[in-house]
Amino acid sequence: MRAALLEQPGQDLLVVDDIEFDGEPRAGEVVVRMTHCGVCHSDLHFADGSLPAPLPIVLGHEAAGIVERVGAGVAHLAEGDKVILTLRPPCGHCYWCVRGEVSICPNATATTTGVLPDGTTRLSRGGSMVFRGVGIAAFSEYVVTSASGAVKVPADTPLEVACVIGCAVQTGVGAVVNTAGVEPGATVMIVGLGGIGISIAQGARLAGASRIIGVDPVAERREQAAQFGVTDVVDPGSMDIASAALQQTDGVGVDYAFEAVGRASLVESCIAGVRPGGTTVMVGVPRIEDTVSFSALFFALGEKKLKGCFLGSSDPRREFPRLVSLWRAGRLDLDGMITARRPLEEINDAFADMKAGRGLRTVLEL
């Protein structure tokens, strides 16, 4: 099987064709033929070593494809179904799943372990195990996953567009409507206008926010942000983020601030920029050693709130179809988020674009 393989952090990924794939699904599993996969900053975190990962590993997780085979006991999917994959297939029966908190299901461990629940990966090369990056290993021709990790979408859904729902859009929109619960008329600040930040902006627009302030050092991203709902932009190179939030709100501070970069210092700026009683949401993926510091006294007296957010606090079985429907209704712009399409062989060029801040989302055609 052909796939993009990471052998050492900091090195280019190798596109190889000798990955051995055990393509026979076991009970409760499906095999999916990958068609498209977005290139996400989380993949870059593993590729450059910012986050630890077992090696060698196949990355890729913002993915969509077509069901190739189904295992025993799978009744809701069939061969030929179009699906969007999730990197956290919920077990459906744990303490968190039964309370609707499936994004933090403790049994969906492949994201961090690189293996399936049974301890295997179904991937090898030269007789040695190859690990599953970010739970899916979608920079490849085929994937095996728990059936709960593949969500069916209508047959006429263009997967080259829908794949970005699997991470960026689910995370960003969900951060607004699920994690934060932004209400109509609220003021919102977003730090970082990449794929996640733009998805947050679209979620804020859907929620009826009155002001959506976008912060990004890249001029091109600030310029294109308006088409996704951003009403005001800030260049952090010319103004302190917290000061900008206060200035844009007549000294009150924003109701909600979303950090979409993954940097502790920016989280601290967001906390300073929200109003008393306001909420900061950590959406970006920080380095494992990062810590956030703030004055406990002023945080308490100001009744400020700090929330973590993983995958938009979403249940993909509900969220993916809903997001597809919003796209069909013209209320969610997925097409505009995809600024490049590349073959798998250009995966390292896609990472180079991301590092340089070029474009929003690259989709690989697999």
pLDDT truncated to tens, each residue of the chain (366 aa)?
999 999 999 999 999 999 999 999 999 999 999 999 999 999 999 999 988 999 999 999 999 999 999 999 999 999 999 999 999 999 999 999 999 999 999 998 888 899 998 999 999 999 999 999 998 999 999 999 999 999 999 999 999 999 999 999 999 999 999 999 999 999 999 999 999 999 999 999 999 999 999 999 999 999 999 999 999 999 999 999 999 999 999 999 999 999 999 999 999 999 999 999 999 999 999 988 999 999 999 999 999 999 999 999 999 999 999 999 999 999 999 999 999 999 999 999 999 999 998 999 999 999
* Domain shared by 101 and 11, yes or no: yes
What CATH number has the domain bearing residue 258? Answer: 3.40.50.720
What CATH number has the domain bearing residue 12? Answer: 3.90.180.10
Token code pair at residue 317: 């079985």
**Dihedral sign, CA of 102, 134, 360, 194?**
positive
Q: Which amino acid is at 327?
A: W
* Domain shared by 97 and 9, yes or no: yes
- Within-domain flag for 49: yes
Residue where the block lists tokens 């590349």: 342
* Total residues belonging to the chain: 366
* Domain shared by 38 and 147, yes or no: yes
β-sheet bridge partners, residue 37:
63, 364
* Domain shared by 46 and 112, yes or no: yes
* Domain shared by 135 and 38, yes or no: yes
Distance between CA atoms of residues 208 and 190, nearest Å: 15
* Domain shared by 241 and 128, yes or no: no
* Domain shared by 338 and 210, yes or no: no
Domain boundary among 292, 309, 326: 309
Domain boundary among 293, 309, 325: 309
* Domain shared by 157 and 10, yes or no: yes
- Within-domain flag for 14: yes
Helix 264-273 crosses helix 241-248 at what angle (to 10 degrees)? 30
Q: Which residues are catalytic?
A: 40, 42, 45, 61, 167
Token code pair at residue 364: 């690989």
- Could you tell me which residues come within 8 angstroms of residue 362 by beta carbon, excluding any fewer than 6 positions away? 38, 39, 338, 339, 340, 341, 342, 350, 353, 354
- Domain residue limits at 351: 3-166+334-365
- Within-domain flag for 324: no
Rg (CA), the chain: 20
- Within-domain flag for 154: yes
- Within-domain flag for 323: no
Overall domain count for the chain: 2
